[in-house]
């Protein structure tokens, strides 16, 4: 369960103030996949970082499983899993060593970690190369190792930051299956992406961010009612067209 | 980062596994292995070859040089004999018997020179031609001119007579290169061909001195030439014309010190090289591979993450140091280079055993610096861009240590890198000094701790903020909220900054010629500034609660929970009368402790000096006696204020206030007391410009007692009182002569009589007991 309330964060870049996130609120229930959508620079990553407690918000708060992140920023991370685009693997460690290392980082007891590793090896089909060095793995294998890494401490909340960027169809498919798996296990999933077609497929509810503010929020049905458009892509194009700077950004956004 | 979460990472060997992961990552990487194994295998033999070349070059390759070796003789007669012995060689060459030798072998000789050395004077030597025993001139008059027309491009010998100085002394002082101790000549019959002169020489040269050895080599070659020539002439049927015995004498270290300085420099450079790659790989490399974010997102405390990386980097650095030391030792032993560089014994095993810990300490220091530099680099390239200037900057002072006349002075002891280099050099040449050595080790450890703190802050800050501009300001940013206790990291940084200042100031004023009264005041001033005013300012800036940090809550401290600092003294539910009773009881306890502790401290010092530890040398005893006389002329109130009251206030404020509180912030109270007492003891080892290692034990003991009183009473003041009484009593004693004292104590061997010691122990025990029981209830309230 994630509750985000009135988050606000501004950065000063060379003397200019940039409001990255401006009063964003939403909530993600258990067994729910929430899509945090928006073009590049909409404030998705900053919001995720504030949810993780890596960035301190200027105002507003985040609650994970009933605990505010500002009261126990470190403890809250036991509840959170994170998988992002740029995630890599340790080339010189074996898959098993790497996953057990992360279990230790989350202070998971070694016996529990062992059994969880066995379970994940089966679920994500990484059993055959558990003792292979990560540098020898294919891209797809590395990706599955990364997904397993996010589940080693069995967090109730999973944050996915652009998990499919740069992946082919097969890779993306693995991620979708993974999200289904998380959902089936009752986890709250917060998915940040600008791949609107994918979001439509896997998310239960959506929040459309633009210039740091939440423009539309709800299920696909709600959004269709609010905007009068059928697809997320059209909603986005509309959003951007409203904007003064529309012409400039149109070409860039997917 | 609450303590409980750190504890869960420390438990079950988890920290060990975290370190193991970093080590695996480093040691499985081929690039680490190359610096670790391949480099030492290649560098030392190559270096050895280069050095051999250099030494051989100096010894025989100076033909192009106009090197003139100075041969010392006893008197003019001996000088003439030597000259004529060597003169034969000149003849041989000029006669063209051995052209091949002439090309290689420059000749020489008996040119008349006046050496204006201080003690040796030159014989007016007219050369071998005039020597009474020599018939050279008679046989070959035309050669005489040739012989004196020496090629200015060649090396030659200059024969001087030592006057007013013994030959050996002249040799030891480097005024002559080779000393001819004995020279005899006899006529050997050639039958019908007449006679020829045969010479016997006894020579001495300086062992392991390039110039002296080279001179010896030249001399020997000249002699061989004479003999070769003769045996050619007479087909080897005769005994050699010149025979010599040579003995090596005590070595002259100074000339070699600069070359010996190369070894530590190379060892240190290699250790650095070993650490550089893992440091970059485990920080910037982690970012580049995209594993950093996932790691930072875990609840593992960042300090521990950095610590595990630090352990790995230090381990690799130490392994590199070990491999290099081993390779260096083997090369030096096998090649005989060790003897040439470091004297007869070469690189002794003892020196290796001493240098290794130095390299470990240095690795600890430099690894922390490297991690701090790399912690905010985003990529390998960026990290390298940061490191190269650092390496170059540190190389410049390092090269300075190669200069032959650099002495490892006290003040250089606190210059990072340079201190370890000079200390290793002195260990290799076998003459390390105590105070700079202590300063080097202690300051390097403090710098390492501080650098590690800086690294962990940067490592933490770098991912927490989006832009890297903020990373440095994070380090010194003033906290927004007030804190009860100081950060242990702040303490490390403060100690690392304060120690060099403390060291320089105490040394400076120890050497300046001032009256003892002004020295006392200056010393008190230094204590006040460094131990009271500066920590107070730091606390003010870091928004520390002064009441909880410096235990300023009144005689019995604050009665609220530990560190709350909110409540005034007089806990709820405790009557005013009970508070007064307890206050008086603690006062009694402190007085009992004070009356016994100084005796024990004194006795510990005595016992230590009986065992030869920190025995006071003669010049120090004299200085002490002098100080005693001067002390007597100063009013006691002045001594009390400057040496008891001010130190008590300032040192309690710092050691029991800031230091103890910083430790209490992280670890259990008793261990905090122990650590703060150790730091207290270490600071007292530096006594002006003298290292008083023997003071460590009694001072640490006092620190333990003071720490105990401080955490039990939760107040600074009982400790200040105890400290002031303790110091006051010891200084009061110095006002009496030893005779008076021994009459007083009824003992003549400067030890206290057993009954005094027993009484003191009992008094200390009672004092501790009293403080313990009177504060028991409060202490448990505080602890919970």
pLDDT digits (tens, 9 = 90+) for B475-511: 667 777 788 888 888 888 888 888 888 888 887 776 7
pLDDT on residue B128: 37
Residues of B in contact with A76 (CB under 8 A): 299
Helix (H, G, I), strand (E, B) or coil at A60: strand
Helix (H, G, I), strand (E, B) or coil at B96: coil
Cβ atoms of B520 and B643 within 8 Å: the answer is yes
pLDDT on residue A226: 83
Closest C-alpha to B716, from B515, B575, B573, B546: B546
- Of residues A80 and B562, which shows the higher confidence score? A80
| Chain-chain contact of A92 with B1 (C-beta, under 8 angstroms) | no
Give residue-wise pLDDT tens across range A13-48. Answer: 767 788 889 889 999 999 999 999 888 778 888 898
Residues of A in contact with B294 (CB under 8 A): 82-84, 87, 102, 149
Residues of B in contact with A89 (CB under 8 A): 289, 291
pLDDT on residue B119: 33
Residue of A nearest to B301 (CA): A74
Q: Which CATH number fits domain A2-87+156-252: 3.90.198.10, 3.90.1150.10, 3.40.50.300, 3.40.50.970?
A: 3.40.50.300
| Chain-chain contact of A91 with B289 (C-beta, under 8 angstroms) | yes
- How far apart CA B716 and CA B549 sit, in angstroms, is 10
B460 near A CB under 8 A: no
| Chain-chain contact of B464 with A54 (C-beta, under 8 angstroms) | yes
Q: What is the mean pLDDT of residues B64-82?
A: 73
- How far apart CA A192 and CA A186 sit, in angstroms, is 19
pLDDT on residue B405: 67
> Minimal Cα–Cα distance from B275 to chain A, Å?
18
Residue B143 pLDDT level (bands cut at 50, 70, 90): very low
Which residues fall within 8 angstroms of residue B226, CB to CB, at 6 or more apart? Answer: B85, B86, B88, B89, B92, B241, B242
Find the CB nearest A101 among B21, B29, B296: B21
- How far apart CA B187 and CA B192 sit, in angstroms, is 14
Residue B103 pLDDT level (bands cut at 50, 70, 90): very low
**Least confidently predicted of B131-135, B436-440, B704-708, B751-755:** B131-135
The conformation of residue B782, written as its DSSP 8-state character, comes to: H
Residue A114 pLDDT level (bands cut at 50, 70, 90): very high
| Chain-chain contact of B289 with A105 (C-beta, under 8 angstroms) | no
> Minimal Cα–Cα distance from B12 to chain A, Å?
9
- How far apart CA B640 and CA B459 sit, in angstroms, is 48
Q: What is the mean pLDDT of residues B253-267?
A: 66
Of B15-24, B165-174, B406-415, highest mean pLDDT: B15-24
In terms of residues, how long is chain B?
A: 784
> Minimal Cα–Cα distance from B705 to chain A, Å?
38
CB burial class (10 A; 0-12, 13-18, 19+) of residue B245? exposed
Q: What is the mean pLDDT of residues A130-156?
A: 91
Mean pLDDT of chain B: 74
H or E element: which one contains A3?
strand A2-13
Find the CB nearest A87 among B12, B14, B294: B294
Answer whether residue B306 shows pLDDT above 50: yes
| Chain-chain contact of A106 with B300 (C-beta, under 8 angstroms) | yes
pLDDT on residue B165: 76
How many alpha carbons lie under 13 Å from residue B669 in its C-beta half-sphere?
A: 16
Give residue-wise pLDDT tens across range B23-35. Answer: 998 888 888 888 8
Give all strands of the β-sheet with A213-218 in edge-to-edge order.
A80-84, A157-161, A188-193, A32-37, A205-210, A213-218
H or E element: which one contains A36?
strand A32-37
A2 near B CB under 8 A: no
pLDDT on residue B264: 82
| Chain-chain contact of A84 with B294 (C-beta, under 8 angstroms) | yes
Residues of A in contact with B29 (CB under 8 A): 92
Q: Parse chain B into domains and list their residue ranges.
A: 3-53+256-406+415-420, 61-252, 535-783
**Least confidently predicted of B457-461, B520-524, B657-661, B711-715:** B457-461
- Of residues B260 and B75, which shows the higher confidence score? B75
Which residues fall within 8 angstroms of residue B322, CB to CB, at 6 or more apart? Answer: B356
DSSP B60-91: H--TTTT-EEEEEESSHHHHHHHHHHHHHHHH
Residue B64 pLDDT level (bands cut at 50, 70, 90): very low
Residue B570 pLDDT level (bands cut at 50, 70, 90): very low
Q: What is the mean pLDDT of residues B443-466?
A: 76
Answer whether residue B319 shows pLDDT above 60: yes
Residues of B in contact with A82 (CB under 8 A): 293-294, 297
Residues of A in contact with B298 (CB under 8 A): 77, 102, 105-106
> For every residue of B215-255, which 3-state class applies, written as one string?
HHHHHHHHHHHHHHHHHHHCCCCCCCCEEEEEEEECCCCHH
A54 near B CB under 8 A: yes
Residue B258 pLDDT level (bands cut at 50, 70, 90): low
> Minimal Cα–Cα distance from A228 to chain B, Å?
37
Helix (H, G, I), strand (E, B) or coil at B112: coil
pLDDT on residue B151: 38
Rg, chain B, Cα only: 36
Q: What is the mean pLDDT of residues A105-118?
A: 92
pLDDT on residue B627: 67
For an interface test with B, give the residue of A92, A157, A162 to mutate (most B CBs within 10 A).
Answer: A92
Residues paired with A10 in a beta bridge: A19
Residues of B in contact with A11 (CB under 8 A): 466-467
Residue A165 pLDDT level (bands cut at 50, 70, 90): confident
pLDDT on residue B97: 34
Residue of B nearest to A147 (CA): B294
pLDDT on residue B731: 81
Answer whether residue A216 shows pLDDT above 70: yes
Strands A32-37 and A16-28: unpaired
| Chain-chain contact of B289 with A11 (C-beta, under 8 angstroms) | no
Closest C-alpha to B608, from B687, B486, B701: B701
A91 near B CB under 8 A: yes
pLDDT on residue B643: 87
The conformation of residue A103, written as its DSSP 8-state character, comes to: H
What are the residue ranges of helices labelled H in chain A?
A: 44-52, 95-105, 110-123, 139-151, 169-184, 196-202, 220-227, 232-242, 246-252
> How many CB atoms are closer than 10 A to CB B749?
9
Find the CB nearest A77 among B290, B299, B466: B299
pLDDT on residue B87: 65
Q: What is the mean pLDDT of residues A159-179?
A: 86
Q: How far is CA A236 from CA A94, A210, A225, B690, in A?
A: 43, 9, 14, 77
- How far apart CA A160 and CA A199 sit, in angstroms, is 12
How many alpha carbons lie under 13 Å from residue B271 in its C-beta half-sphere?
A: 31
Find the CB nearest A88 among B18, B290, B463: B290
Residue of A nearest to B463 (CA): A54
Q: How far is CA B23 from CA B278, B456, B481, in A?
A: 9, 18, 38
Residue A156 pLDDT level (bands cut at 50, 70, 90): very high
Give residue-wise pLDDT tens across range B366-385. Answer: 999 899 888 877 788 888 88
Give residue-wise pLDDT tens across range B45-63. Answer: 887 777 766 666 555 444 4
SS3 content of chain A, % helix, strand, coil (to 5): 40, 25, 30
Give residue-wise pLDDT tens across range B632-644. Answer: 778 888 888 988 8
Q: What percent of chain A has pLDDT over 70?
A: 94
CA angle, residues B307, B309, B310, in degrees to nearest 5: 60
Helix (H, G, I), strand (E, B) or coil at B136: helix
Cβ atoms of A210 and A243 within 8 Å: the answer is yes
Q: What is the mean pLDDT of residues B393-398?
A: 79
In chain A, residues 71-90 whose CB comes closer than 8 Å to chain B: 74-78, 80, 82-84, 86-90
Give residue-wise pLDDT tens across range B323-339. Answer: 988 888 888 777 666 66
**Least confidently predicted of B116-120, B623-627, B715-719:** B116-120
Q: Is the Cα torsion angle B661, B664, B669, B670 positive or negative in sign?
A: negative
What are the residue ranges of helices labelled H in B336-379?
A: 337-342, 349-374
Q: Parse chain A into domains and list their residue ranges.
A: 2-87+156-252
**Least confidently predicted of B79-83, B225-229, B431-435:** B225-229
Residue written as tokens 């060459």?
Answer: B93
H or E element: which one contains B728?
helix B717-733
Q: What is the mean pLDDT of residues A223-248?
A: 75
Find the CB nearest B294 among A13, A82, A91: A82
Closest C-alpha to B560, from B570, B545, B575: B570
In this structure, what are the phi and psi dihedrals at residue B67, rounded to the nearest 5 degrees?
-65, 130
pLDDT on residue B648: 92
| Chain-chain contact of A102 with B29 (C-beta, under 8 angstroms) | no
| Chain-chain contact of A91 with B466 (C-beta, under 8 angstroms) | no
pLDDT on residue B536: 92
> Minimal Cα–Cα distance from A159 to chain B, Å?
11
Answer whether residue A100 shows pLDDT above 90: yes
Strands B686-687 and B690-691: antiparallel
ipTM: 0.88
> Minimal Cα–Cα distance from A6 to chain B, Å?
20
| Chain-chain contact of A87 with B296 (C-beta, under 8 angstroms) | no
Find the CB nearest A74 among B25, B294, B299: B299
Q: How far is CA A55 from the centre of its chain?
A: 15
| Chain-chain contact of A93 with B299 (C-beta, under 8 angstroms) | no
| Chain-chain contact of B464 with A55 (C-beta, under 8 angstroms) | yes
> Minimal Cα–Cα distance from A107 to chain B, Å?
7
CB burial class (10 A; 0-12, 13-18, 19+) of residue B647? buried
Residues of B in contact with A75 (CB under 8 A): 5, 299
Q: How far is CA B174 from CA A240, B167, B222, B341, in A?
A: 90, 11, 22, 18
B379 near A CB under 8 A: no
Residue of B nearest to A20 (CA): B466
B291 near A CB under 8 A: yes
Q: What percent of chain B has pLDDT over 70?
A: 71
The conformation of residue B752, written as its DSSP 8-state character, comes to: P
> Minimal Cα–Cα distance from A74 to chain B, Å?
5
Residue A85 pLDDT level (bands cut at 50, 70, 90): confident
Residues of A in contact with B28 (CB under 8 A): 92, 133
For an interface test with A, give the residue of B29, B291, B463, B467 to mutate (most A CBs within 10 A).
Answer: B291
Residue of A nearest to B289 (CA): A88
- How far apart CA B372 and CA B247 sit, in angstroms, is 55
> Minimal Cα–Cα distance from B547 to chain A, Å?
25
In chain A, residues 197-216 whose CB comes closer than 8 Å to chain B: none
Q: How far is CA A230 from CA A214, A223, A235, A242, B626, in A?
A: 19, 9, 8, 18, 100
Q: Is the Cα torsion angle B226, B227, B230, B231 positive or negative in sign?
A: negative
Give residue-wise pLDDT tens across range B709-742. Answer: 998 888 899 999 999 998 888 888 777 766 676 6
């Amino acid at each position: 369960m994630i509750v985000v309330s009135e988050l606000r964060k501004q950065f000063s870049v060379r003397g200019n103030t940039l409001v990255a996130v401006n009063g964003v609120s939403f909530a993600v229930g258990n067994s729910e996949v929430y899509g945090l959508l928006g073009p590049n620079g909409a404030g998705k990553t900053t919001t995720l970082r504030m949810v993780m407690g890596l960035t301190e918000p200027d105002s507003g708060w985040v609650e994970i499983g009933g605990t505010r992140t500002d009261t126990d920023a470190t403890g809250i991370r036991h509840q959170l899993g994170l998988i992002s685009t740029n995630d890599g693997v340790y080339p010189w460690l074996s898959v098993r060593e790497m996953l057990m290392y992360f279990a230790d980082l989350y202070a998971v007891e070694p016996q529990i970690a062992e059994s969880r590793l066995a379970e994940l090896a089966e679920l994500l089909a990484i059993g055959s190369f558990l003792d292979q060095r990560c540098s020898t793995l294919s891209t797809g294998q590395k990706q599955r190792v990364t997904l397993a890494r996010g589940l080693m401490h069995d967090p109730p909340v999973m944050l996915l930051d652009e998990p499919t960027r740069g992946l082919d169809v097969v890779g993306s498919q693995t991620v979708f299956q993974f999200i289904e798996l998380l959902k089936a296990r009752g986890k709250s999933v917060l998915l940040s992406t600008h791949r609107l077609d994918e979001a439509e497929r896997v998310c239960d509810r959506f929040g459309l961010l633009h210039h740091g503010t939440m423009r539309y929020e709800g299920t696909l049905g709600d959004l269709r009612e609010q905007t009068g458009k059928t697809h997320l892509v059209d909603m986005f194009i509309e959003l951007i067209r409203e904007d003064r700077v529309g012409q400039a950004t149109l070409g860039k956004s997917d | 980062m609450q303590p409980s979460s750190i504890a869960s990472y420390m438990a079950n060997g988890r920290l060990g596994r975290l370190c193991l992961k970093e080590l695996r990552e480093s040691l499985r990487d081929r690039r680490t292995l190359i610096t670790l194994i391949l480099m030492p295998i290649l560098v030392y033999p190559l270096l050895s070859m280069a050095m051999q070349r250099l030494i051989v070059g100096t010894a025989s390759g100076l033909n192009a040089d106009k090197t003139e070796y100075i041969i010392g003789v006893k008197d003019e007669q001996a000088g003439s004999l030597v000259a004529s012995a060597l003169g034969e060689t000149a003849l041989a060459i000029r006669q063209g018997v051995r052209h091949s030798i002439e090309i290689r072998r420059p000749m020489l000789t008996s040119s008349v020179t006046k050496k204006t050395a201080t003690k040796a004077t030159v014989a007016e030597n007219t050369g071998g031609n005039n020597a009474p025993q020599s018939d050279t001139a008679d046989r070959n008059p035309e050669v005489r001119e040739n012989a004196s027309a020496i090629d200015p491009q060649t090396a030659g010998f200059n024969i001087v007579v030592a006057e007013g100085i013994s030959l050996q002394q002249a040799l030891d002082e480097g005024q002559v290169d080779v000393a001819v101790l004995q020279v005899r000549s006899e006529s050997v019959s050639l039958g019908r061909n007449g006679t020829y002169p045969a010479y016997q020489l006894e020579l001495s040269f300086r062992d392991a001195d390039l110039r002296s050895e080279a001179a010896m080599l030249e001399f020997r070659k000249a002699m061989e030439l004479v003999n070769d020539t003769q045996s050619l002439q007479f087909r080897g049927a005769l005994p050699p014309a010149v025979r010599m015995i040579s003995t090596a004498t005590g070595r002259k270290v100074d000339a070699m010190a600069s070359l010996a300085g190369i070894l530590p420099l190379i060892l240190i450079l290699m250790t650095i090289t070993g650490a550089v790659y893992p440091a970059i790989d485990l920080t910037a490399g982690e970012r580049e591979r995209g594993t950093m974010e996932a790691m930072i997102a875990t609840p593992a405390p960042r300090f521990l993450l950095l610590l595990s990386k630090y352990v790995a980097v230090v381990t690799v650095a130490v392994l590199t140091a070990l491999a290099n030391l081993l390779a260096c030792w083997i090369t030096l032993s096998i090649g005989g280079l060790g003897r040439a560089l470091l004297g007869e014994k070469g690189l002794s095993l003892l020196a290796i055993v001493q240098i290794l810990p130095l390299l470990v300490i240095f690795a600890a220091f430099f690894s922390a610096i490297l991690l701090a530099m790399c912690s905010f680099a985003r990529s390998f390239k960026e990290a390298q861009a940061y490191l190269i200037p650092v390496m170059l900057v540190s190389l410049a002072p390092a090269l300075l240590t190669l200069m032959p006349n650099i002495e490892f002075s006290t003040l250089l002891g606190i210059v990072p890198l340079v201190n370890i280099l000079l200390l290793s050099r002195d260990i290799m040449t076998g003459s390390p000094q105590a105070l700079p050595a202590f300063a080097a080790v202690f300051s390097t450890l403090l710098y390492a701790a501080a650098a590690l703190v800086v690294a962990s802050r940067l490592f933490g800050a770098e991912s927490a903020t989006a832009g890297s501009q903020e990373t440095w300001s994070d380090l010194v940013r003033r906290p927004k909220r007030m804190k009860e206790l100081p950060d242990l990291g702040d303490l490390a940084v403060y100690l690392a900054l304060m120690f060099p200042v403390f060291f320089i100031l105490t040394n400076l004023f120890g050497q300046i010629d001032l009256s003892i009264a002004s020295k006392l005041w200056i010393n008190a001033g230094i204590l006040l500034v460094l131990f009271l005013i500066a920590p107070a300012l730091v606390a003010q800036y870091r928004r520390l609660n002064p009441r909880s940090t410096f235990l300023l809550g009144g005689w019995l401290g604050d009665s609220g929970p530990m560190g709350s600092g909110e409540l005034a003294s007089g806990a709820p539910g405790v009557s005013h009368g009970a508070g007064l009773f307890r206050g008086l009881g603690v006062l009694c306890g402190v007085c009992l402790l004070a009356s016994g502790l100084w005796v024990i401290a004194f006795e510990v010092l005595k016992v230590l000096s009986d065992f030869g530890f920190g025995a006071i040398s003669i010049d120090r005893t004299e200085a002490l006696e002098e100080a005693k006389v001067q002390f007597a002329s100063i009013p006691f109130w002045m001594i009390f204020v400057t040496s008891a009251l001010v130190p008590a206030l300032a040192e309690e404020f710092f050691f029991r206030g800031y230091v103890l509180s910083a430790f209490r912030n992280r670890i259990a109270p008793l261990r905090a007391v122990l650590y703060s007492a150790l730091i207290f003891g270490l600071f007292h080892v530096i006594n002006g410009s003298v290292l008083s290692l023997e003071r460590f034990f009694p001072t640490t003991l006092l620190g333990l007692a003071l720490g105990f009183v401080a955490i039990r009473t939760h107040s600074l003041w009982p400790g200040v009182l105890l400290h002031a009484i303790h110091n006051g009593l010891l200084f009061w004693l110095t006002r009496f002569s030893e005779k008076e004292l021994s009459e007083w104590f009824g003992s003549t061997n400067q030890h206290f009589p057993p009954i005094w010691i027993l009484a003191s122990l009992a008094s200390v025990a009672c004092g501790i007991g009293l403080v313990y029981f009177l504060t028991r209830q409060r202490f448990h309230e505080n602890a919970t």
